Amino acid sequence: MTILLITTLLFAAALVPSQALIAPLFALKVGDPFPSSALSKWGVKGKTSVLYFFGADDAPSCKKENSLFSARLSEFGVPVVGVRNAKGAKGADVAQKLVIDEDDEVREEIGIKKDLFGLLGGRETYVVDSKGTVQMVFNDQFKPEKHVELALDAVSELKASSGSSKGGFDIGELLGGLLKK
């Protein structure tokens, strides 16, 4: 029985490319440059901005995330851009800009991993400063509201510390502040 199971798994693995084989060798982290071609294409090059990657306009948690970003857009004071692939673009009525990542090119380039055994595109949010440097990264498929809160906190802190040499944000520090609220 064990040999049959191992043989079946090996056969299945040979048919389906391994995520480990096709995934990039790194994931974008605080201090890394965000791809400038994407920033240019999405109209935010040279601007502090929030870029959030999600699955589909009509998926329940994605709808919630889009609605939350839309409702709090004026609090950000910087461009907020939602990114999904063409298959996920169903037409959402939101205040922020939504763009399509053709063939998940940017998602793959920056190393956003799929969730739930590769069934769901990863939900990841970035705050990028005016130089295109990543100042915050947050990934959580099941807490869309945290993406909005943490991005808002990171943008606020970035605005408050503009001109200082401090770069990046400690997610633990930001989460601690949210937990106290």
H or E segment and range at residue 138: strand 134-139
Strands (E) located in the chain: 49-53, 80-84, 97-100, 124-128, 134-139
Q: Classify 96 in phi/psi space as left (phi over 0), alpha (psi -120 to 50) or beta.
A: beta
Return phi, psi of residue 105, to 5°: -55, -50
Q: Are strands 80-84 and 49-53 parallel, antiparallel or unpaired?
A: parallel
> Of these residues, 56, 62, 112, 151, which one is catalytic?
62
Residues 30 and 171: beta-carbon distance below 8 Å:
no
Residues 104 and 110: beta-carbon distance below 8 Å:
no
114 catalytic residue (yes or no): no
Sheet bearing 124-128, strands edge to edge: 97-100, 80-84, 49-53, 124-128, 134-139
Token pair for 134: 């990543």
d(CA 138, CA 75): 19
Catalytic residues, by residue number, are 62
